[in-house]
Amino acid sequence: MSAFHKLIARVRTALESPVESARPHQAAADTASPHAAAARRAELASAFAREFGAVRGEFLGIHAPEKIPAKAVELARTLKARVIAVGAGVTLDFDPVRHALESARLTVVPMDTKKSEDAPPLRDRIAQADLSVVEADAAIASTGTFAVVGTPASPASLTLTPAANLIIFRADRLHADLATAIAALGPEPFVKNRVAMITGPSRTADIEKMIVLGVHGPRRLFAIAAWPGQ
Amino acid sequence: MSAGPSSSGFLEASRRGVADADLRRKLENATGRHLEHVAASHAEFPAFDSERDAARRIKEDAIGRLDELLVELKNNLEANGAAVFVAADAGEARDYIVKVVQRAEAKRVVKGKSMTTEEIELNPALERAGAEVVETDLGEYIVQLRGERPSHIITPAIHLSKEDIGRLFADKLGIPYTAEPETLTDAARKRLREIFLSADVGVTGVNFAIAETGTLALIENEGNGRLSSTLPDTFIAVMGIEKVIPKLSDLSHFLEILARTGTGQKLTTYVNFISGPRGQKDADGPRAMHVVILDNGRSAMLADPVLREALYCLRCGACLNVCPVYRRIGGHAYNSTYPGPIGSIVSPNLFGSAAAELPFASTLCGACRDICPVRIDIPRILLHLRWREGAKQPPARWPKETVKVRESVVRFARMARFPRTLRLLTRLAAVVLRPFSRDGYLRRMPGVAGNWTKWGRDFPALRARRKTRKGAKPAPRIADANRDGAAAPSGQSQ
Ligand code: SF4
């Protein structure tokens, strides 16, 4: 009998013992989070901006997709960033972002993902970037959160090792709460890729419970909502 | 350092903790701040209680069919490309991890915060095997530099002030002394970033393991768990059998309550989902992923009808912060990986007789049960463990102090049969103790009564006469109240 089967046998025997419940729990309560199913996009965006600000994220507004390259250049200049790592878009084309940054004489880290052997150098080059730009697969208004799926063209390190991170999301991928966002993503990305939910910049409260940002991950986190006609 | 209590020195250690006024100040400061955040975050989330109930039901269901879910989890993790090892005890888990590290010819191992790896005493085993082990959670890094064990499951360095940490970093990292949290954090970031980029193996714990998809969820604020599971070539996750939940859709109920109770946030900064090693074309992520599923006494807890509830614990740490005993004595007094109320339950079951005294380290005030996000009835389980321990021990083995308290209670109970005498004695005591009373409290008492106030406890000042409002009727006696039906709830039981 393998160790696993032995464990399952132990667990099965243990489960045969009766359970003494502490007290009856409300049986019929609603299991779903309350969420504003009919909330308008604008309301969600404003809720997102409020919550994102509360976790010390910096919301740069709602902009038309064609204005995003200029916004990325403006941010890079404000931060005095020289090296920028740009992932692949999910719904948006990020080539114009790359071109705009290069035209502004900034160094864009090439995402050469053809050969797996290149992984360590690429990983290290991403870690050297002053700013990274990615698109989120979903955003959550009630907590100011992004769900970012790591892919070969948009590695997980992009939202982790650079000093600052700009996350762009399409306004129609903004969900009211966690439950709806997880349901909308479905199980596939969780099984096939690495998914990170990100709520504000990296932080610690390990010294006298005082909050300090950027302990391991990005110290500053920026967001732009993309929506046509803005 | 050892994961379990090495001796039953709880009383001595707790005495030291209580006598350390500086420690108490630090604990009051940190736990008080945490409780303020928690109260605020609960107040702004009206669905908090319904989410707690939902999470509780999911845990009851998951633990009730743990056998099925473990099979499903293992199959799905393996289908995703992870290697799964089931360890019956700490020794088996350690041996497996050491073998993986040796096979990877790893020199440097980075660790995310994981109480389960503390429980199995992984660090010394890896060091004996020749690997350098670096804790990367800031609090864990601090206590590792001091050669200590964490004193809290969420805030490992809660017992240290910023000045203590400033001196430590000046000494160990060679930076100029500062007590600025930002500068100290920045120094740790720089040092640890270099270590991350050169680490061969990353080890973390697991908060939830989703059976349906074979996905591990790691919850954290710093990003060190993400780095540990993303940068090194080999990743090892260590989880207790109780971490499994059935479905991906179950997770949101836990996420809605966990950070709100653990840290007072709506959601932690990172929730990381990992299902397997990196794909062929991926630029990062581990090339090999191992999941160690640990029993180590948990199936015995499952078999106990009362103790089973303790397996619902999310390790949010809130019961520690709210516990009047923990707040007075600190985590190190428990001399166990798991301190505080939940530690007093799990430690005797994971570490055996050496932790047998811990269930007695509680006033049974119930604050832990009230704050627990999955409503674990901690006082009830503690009482159960006390009875279990009591049945094993002859009375003479009870701590001297406990015997004394018990005898005093028996004496008081005898006296209480004569209410008039009791009232008379109370009035007499009120007169004698009046010089010791301040702001309605006795903070110091003479003679044998001084034992009560000796350890910083106070006592409400006694009144020589019962206060009655002018013209107020005397309170009805219980017998009268019952006759009128006033004491019957909702007036139903006639
Ligand atoms: S027992 Fe409850 S309050 Fe204590 S750590 Fe576990 S989940 Fe948190």
Residue ranges of domains in chain A, CATH in brackets: 3-226 (3.40.50.10420)
> What span, in angstroms and rounded, lies between the C-alpha atoms of B152 and B330?
8
B306 assigned to some structural domain? no
Residue with tokens 């001297």: B400
Residue with tokens 């540990």: B228
Beta carbons of B268 and A199 less than 8 Å apart: yes
B451 assigned to some structural domain? yes
Q: How far is B398 from chain A (nearest CA, A)?
A: 28
Q: Give B465's pLDDT tier (boundaries 50, 70, 90).
A: low
Q: What is the mean pLDDT of chain B?
A: 88
Q: Give B394's pLDDT tier (boundaries 50, 70, 90).
A: low
Q: Give B2's pLDDT tier (boundaries 50, 70, 90).
A: very low
Residue B97 sits in the same domain as residue B214: yes
Instruction: Collect all residues of chain B within an 8 Å Cβ-Cβ radius of residue A178.
Output: 252, 255-256, 267
Beta carbons of B263 and A205 less than 8 Å apart: yes
Residue B289 sits in the same domain as residue B432: no
B114 assigned to some structural domain? yes
The closest CB to that of A152, out of B87, B215, B283, belongs to: B283
Q: Is the pLDDT of residue B20 over 60?
A: yes
> Per-residue pLDDT averaged across B401-417, rounded?
84
Residue B43 sits in the same domain as residue B162: yes
Using one digit for the tens of pLDDT, what is the confidence trace for B171-195? 999 999 999 999 999 999 999 999 9
Residue B246 sits in the same domain as residue B116: yes
Amino acid B396: pLDDT: 58
Measured between CA atoms, the residue of chain B closest to residue A13 is B303
Residue nearest to atom 8 of ligand 1 (CA): B316
Joined together, the tokens standing for residue B87 give 């360890």
B373 assigned to some structural domain? no
Measuring from each residue's beta carbon to the nearest atom of ligand 1, which residues come in under 6 Å? B 313-319, 342, 371-374, 376
| Rg from Cα positions in chain A | 21
More confident residue, A223 or A111: A223
Amino acid A36: pLDDT: 46
> What span, in angstroms and rounded, lies between the C-alpha atoms of A207 and B163?
10
Amino acid B195: pLDDT: 96
Name the domain boundary from B281, B300, B319: B300
Alpha helices in chain A (DSSP H): 3-15, 41-54, 68-79, 95-103, 119-128, 178-185, 188-192
> Per-residue pLDDT averaged across B340-352, rounded?
89
Q: Which residues contact B110 (CB under 8 A, 6 or more apart)?
A: B134, B136, B195, B196, B199, B201, B202, B203, B224, B227, B228, B231, B232
- Give the lowest-confidence range in A174-183, A192-201, B22-31: B22-31
Amino acid A110: pLDDT: 86
Q: Is the pLDDT of residue B480 over 80?
A: no
User: What element of type H or E holds A109?
Assistant: strand A107-109
Q: Give A123's pLDDT tier (boundaries 50, 70, 90).
A: confident
Using one digit for the tens of pLDDT, what is the confidence trace for B299-321? 999 999 999 999 999 999 999 99
Distances (CA, A) of A156 to A228, B125, B205, B229: 27, 31, 19, 11
Beta carbons of B230 and A208 less than 8 Å apart: no
Task: For the beta carbon of residue B97, count every other beta carbon within 10 angstroms.
Answer: 25
Residue B412 sits in the same domain as residue B277: no
Beta carbons of B142 and A10 less than 8 Å apart: no
Measured between CA atoms, the residue of chain A closest to residue B37 is A209
Amino acid A179: pLDDT: 95
Q: Is the pLDDT of residue B249 over 60?
A: yes
Q: How far is A92 from chain B (nearest CA, A)?
A: 21
> Per-residue pLDDT averaged across B247-268, rounded?
95
Beta carbons of A202 and B221 less than 8 Å apart: yes
Q: Is the pLDDT of residue B494 over 50?
A: no
Amino acid B485: pLDDT: 35
Instruction: Collect all residues of chain B within an 8 Å Cβ-Cβ radius of residue A134.
Output: none
Percent of chain A with pLDDT over 90: 69
For residue B201, list its beta bridge partners. Answer: B109, B234
> What span, in angstroms and rounded, lies between the C-alpha atoms of A68 and B12?
64
B179 assigned to some structural domain? yes
**CB–CB contacts below 8 A, A to B:** 264
Amino acid A40: pLDDT: 62
More confident residue, B315 or B2: B315
Q: Which residues contact B219 (CB under 8 A, 6 or more apart)?
A: B207, B208, B225, B255, B258, B259, B268, B270, B271, B272
Amino acid A29: pLDDT: 38
> What span, in angstroms and rounded, lies between the C-alpha atoms of B192 and A161?
12
Q: For residue B33, give the CATH number of its domain.
A: 3.40.50.10420
Percent of chain B with pLDDT over 90: 61
Beta carbons of B185 and A212 less than 8 Å apart: yes
Residue type (1 letter), B67: D
Residue nearest to atom 4 of ligand 1 (CA): B319
> What span, in angstroms and rounded, lies between the C-alpha atoms of B21 and B14?
13
Residue B130 sits in the same domain as residue B262: yes
Beta carbons of A206 and B139 less than 8 Å apart: yes
Q: Is the pLDDT of residue B462 over 90?
A: no
Q: Give B478's pLDDT tier (boundaries 50, 70, 90).
A: very low
Q: Is the dihedral of CA B423, B424, B426, B427 positive or negative?
A: positive
B395 assigned to some structural domain? no
- Give the lowest-confidence range in A177-186, B254-263, B362-371, B480-489: B480-489
Using one digit for the tens of pLDDT, what is the confidence trace for B426-442? 888 888 888 888 878 88
Q: Is the pLDDT of residue B467 over 80?
A: no
Backbone angles phi, psi at A146, to 5 degrees: -110, 145
Amino acid A120: pLDDT: 52
The alpha carbon of B208 is separated from its chain's Cα centroid by a whole number of angstroms, namely 17
B139 assigned to some structural domain? yes
Amino acid A137: pLDDT: 97
In a mutational test of the A interface, the residue from B155, B266, B269 whose CB has the highest number of chain A CBs within 10 Å is B269
Q: How far is A102 from chain B (nearest CA, A)?
A: 23
Beta carbons of A206 and B92 less than 8 Å apart: no
In a mutational test of the B interface, the residue from A16, A208, A221 whose CB has the highest number of chain B CBs within 10 Å is A208
Centre of ligand 1 to C-alpha B319, Å, is 6
> What span, in angstroms and rounded, lies between the C-alpha atoms of A118 and B282?
10
Using one digit for the tens of pLDDT, what is the confidence trace for A36-53? 444 567 889 999 999 999
- Give the lowest-confidence range in A66-80, A152-166, B388-402, B470-484: B470-484
The closest CB to that of A29, out of B53, B256, B377, belongs to: B53
Q: How far is A68 from chain B (nearest CA, A)?
A: 25
Amino acid A148: pLDDT: 97
Centre of ligand 1 to C-alpha B258, Å, is 9
Residue type (1 letter), A101: L
Pocket test for ligand 1, best of B245, B307, B308, B315 (most atoms within 8 A of CB): B315
ipTM of the complex: 0.85
The closest CB to that of A25, out of B34, B57, B215, belongs to: B57
> What span, in angstroms and rounded, lies between the C-alpha atoms of B433 and B151?
39
Percent of chain A with pLDDT over 70: 85
- Burial group, residue B114, by CB count within 10 angstroms (0-12, 13-18, 19+): buried
Joined together, the tokens standing for residue B159 give 């017992």
Which of B416, B419, B455, B462 lies closest to B440 in space, CA to CA?
Answer: B462
Instruction: Collect all residues of chain B within an 8 Å Cβ-Cβ radius of residue A215.
Output: 138, 185, 188-189, 222-224
Name the domain boundary from B272, B300, B328: B300
Name the domain boundary from B259, B279, B300: B300
Joined together, the tokens standing for residue B324 give 């009047």
Q: How far is A162 from chain B (nearest CA, A)?
A: 11
Residue B160 sits in the same domain as residue B285: yes
Measured between CA atoms, the residue of chain A closest to residue B55 is A31
More confident residue, A222 or B479: A222
Q: Give B395's pLDDT tier (boundaries 50, 70, 90).
A: low
Q: Is the pLDDT of residue B296 over 50?
A: yes
What range does the domain containing B436 cover?
Answer: 406-460
Using one digit for the tens of pLDDT, what is the confidence trace for B148-163? 988 887 888 888 999 9
- The domain tally of chain B equals 2
Beta carbons of A178 and B54 less than 8 Å apart: no
Residue B164 sits in the same domain as residue B23: yes
Residue B293 sits in the same domain as residue B417: no
The closest CB to that of A212, out of B181, B269, B304, belongs to: B181
Amino acid B403: pLDDT: 79
Q: Give A113's pLDDT tier (boundaries 50, 70, 90).
A: low
Q: Is the pLDDT of residue A75 over 70?
A: yes
Beta carbons of A199 and B266 less than 8 Å apart: yes
